[in-house]
Amino acid sequence: MWREFWVAIRRARRDTRARAYLLRIFALVFFAGYSVVLIFAFVSGLGADSTFFVVAVIVLVCFVSVLLVHKWQDRQEARSAPPVVAPALQREMQKEALLIAILLIRAGSERMMEKELPPEVEVITRRYQRDRLMQLALWDDLPAAMKDLLLLPNGHWTDQQKWAAESCWEYFSVLRWVVRLDDSLRSLDRPPVYDLAKAREVVHSFEAWQPGDTLAPWDLRPWRAQAGYHLGRLWTEAVARGLLQEGIEPDQREEALRAKRDIDADGASTDLLIDAQTVSELSNPQLWLLLRLAHRRWEILNFLVDWLSKEGPGDGLRQIWSKVITA
């Protein structure tokens, strides 16, 4: 709330929506203050004056009525206004979230089968997922690479295939957030924690989804900027350490080394934090993982900011995530 308040103050001169927001905030503050004064006056004995009390209550009722009328008008306008994001795009995001969820659940099943299972346990993930996709009339629409993965016998995925599928988690998390299945998106300064229950929820409830209040492109821009900032810092560190070789020009490497020297000279207090560690303190495996995740986050947000402004779906969203399993 405080962040929205300060943003509204900075935009009030050129944005009517910001001015309307500030007006409501000030009205609520006035209402709260007036209520306190009214209660204080009543306790102090002024409430014994019936004329004063009647006038004060009338003013309070009028003020509350104005607020309620404005709220009702806002709801009516929201209901009558066309959705910011076209329903076809919303449904396309839901469908792609389902396909990624299928992929993640199968990868989780493959990880589970790395352990020795009791003889009486029968793994039916492959059969169930194919039947589910056939039921939803989505099987024939799958990318060929995903069909090949899902048709492999249970327990026969390679480590590379598992890793490729699991690297789609950031795509999935962003899509869940954009279609408002989740209230928030994990900040990139915290290590990732993924939950297969969220993937199962999407698979089980897909038919019940309806186009609704999807986040608008401008809601995504601050998160895209954050992802870009993290990606830039992690990329600089990876290049300076020599973890990235292919496609790196000599001047890019020299610039990365110079930037790292400046960051190291300033000390840990100025470096980007990931949980309790600075980027400079990360191990190479940690750095490589977080770099890939930041790139996935930035990639899909950068795509969605433009894609959500269109009127109809295309195949661009699928290309974003499916290329990971074909690499």
Domain boundary among 186, 208, 230: 208
Among the candidates 208, 229, 259, a domain finishes at: 208
Residues 221 and 289 in one domain: yes
Buried/exposed 125-141: b ≥16 CB within 10 Å, e otherwise: bbeebbebbeeeeeeee
Q: Are 175 and 97 in contact (CB under 8 A)?
A: yes
| Percent helix / strand / coil, the chain, rounded to 5 | 70, 0, 25
Calculate mean pLDDT across residues 150-155.
93
DSSP 283: -
Number of CB atoms found within 10 A of residue 154's CB: 16
Q: Whole-angstrom Cα distance, residue 75 to residue 70? A: 9
Q: How far apart are alpha carbons 248 and 228 in whole angstroms?
A: 18
Q: What is the pLDDT of residue 192?
A: 87
pLDDT at residue 104, rounded to an integer: 96
Domain count of the fold of the chain: 3
Q: Cβ distance 155 to 116 under 8 Å?
A: no
Asked whether residue 319 is assigned to any structural domain, the reply reads no
Rg (CA), the chain: 27
In this prediction, residue 225 has a pLDDT band, given cuts at 50, 70 and 90, of very high
Q: Which residues contact 187 (CB under 8 A, 6 or more apart)?
A: 226
Which of the pair, 92 or 53, is modelled with greater confidence?
A: 92
DSSP E strands: which ranges in the chain?
273-274, 277-278
Query: Quick one: 105 and 196 in the same domain?
Result: yes
Q: Cα–Cα distances in Å, from 197 out to 64, 192, 212?
A: 44, 15, 22
pTM: 0.73
How far apart, in whole angstroms, are the C-alpha atoms of residue 126 and residue 145?
Answer: 15
Is 105 in the same domain as 180? Answer: yes
State which of 80, 98, 117 marks the end of a domain.
80
Span of 119-128, 144-153, 276-285 with lowest mean pLDDT:
119-128
Residue 76 pLDDT > 50: no
* CA distance linking residue 278 with residue 268, whole number of Å: 7
Q: What is the domain range of residue 277?
A: 217-307
